Amino acid sequence: MHQSCPRILLFDSGIGGLSIADAIRLRLPDADMVYAGDNAGFPYGDLPEHEVVARCVALVEKALARWPCDLVVVACNTASTVVLPMLRSRLRLPVVGVVPAIKPAAALSRNRRLGVLATPATVDRPYLASLIDEYAADCTVLRLGSSELVRIAEMGLAQGWVDDEQVRAILQPLAAGDPDTVVLGCTHFPLIREALARAMPGVRHWVDSGDAIARRVVQLLDETTGDGTGTGQGSSTFLFTAEPPAGLRHWLEVSQPGTRGGGPQISRVNLNTARNSSIGSAGLWQQ
């Protein structure tokens, strides 16, 4: 598409992709963003692969039918492991996926003990094992999959806080292995980075893929404004397949205080994976 500012579609099963949106906004402050959250299917880690693929394809095609974009970001580790080939075969625009940051984590580790914190689905994927074999073969890699921690991150947005004791209990098996570097292999987890750090104070580095994804987006868009010096007035549109998350408006006020077009738009979309229908009519709330 041809417009003065690029438009980017990001999607996730919930609010985890907001961490990727933040990273992209820092490098492309004038980009228009459409964020699609399939919270009716949350969490993807609990769904069979074929259902994840069907939901992702339907949501992306619905969103693009209404908001043509220049690039799509699969802002979900679980979805990235299963849906990228299908999307790339169906779309005539770049599709960027999220890769667990094993390579940079291995480069940072001093004691050669890495932790990988992700969903159970991501932890069990052969793709993760291949990344470890390629980039961290000389490291002891401790893997912990937790869907409950993903739910805690979602609740944290609504409540404005997380239960430190609950987080500490979930992370105890990982902490027992004494990693000095932990890979955040789910896009939800950077949203609760401070709570994770309190639970495991011995970790020197918490590594996520946000900035790497943002740099890849800039490269693909060939944007000259990717140095963070723009006005920061890019518009934001948010779509959700269930009720928009509580606390989202407050998060937007903090993270995106000024945007073009009168503030972020938040709406609910009817997702029907049985057919490729257009965007369903929904109430639109203006912040």
Task: Identify residue 172 by its one-letter amino acid code.
Answer: Q
- Would you give the end-to-end CA distance of the chain in angstroms? 27
Annotated binding residues for substrate, written as ranges, equal 12-13, 44-45, 77-78, 187-188
186 is catalytic: yes
Catalytic residue among 56, 69, 76, 139: 76
**Angle, CA 238 vertex, CA 234 and CA 240 arms, to 5°:** 170
Which pairs from 133-138 meet CB under 8 Å and 24+ separation? 134/102, 134/103, 135/102, 135/103, 135/106, 136/102, 136/103, 136/105, 136/106, 138/106, 138/112
The DSSP result for 14-72, as a single string, is SSTTHHHHHHHHHH-TT-EEEEEE-GGG--GGGS-HHHHHHHHHHHHHHHHHHS--SEE
How far, in Å, CA of 219 to CA of 95, rounded?
13
**Angle, CA 162 vertex, CA 158 and CA 165 arms, to 5°:** 155
Q: Are strands 284-286 and 265-268 parallel, antiparallel or unpaired?
A: antiparallel
Annotated binding residues, written as ranges, equal 12-13, 44-45, 77-78, 187-188
In sequence order, what E strands does the chain have? 7-12, 32-37, 71-74, 95-96, 113-118, 140-145, 181-184, 205-207, 236-240, 265-268, 284-286
76 is catalytic: yes
Catalytic residue among 56, 69, 139, 186: 186
Q: Structure tokens of 197? A: 């750090």
How far, in Å, CA of 108 to CA of 116, rounded?
14
- Residues with active-site annotation: 76, 186
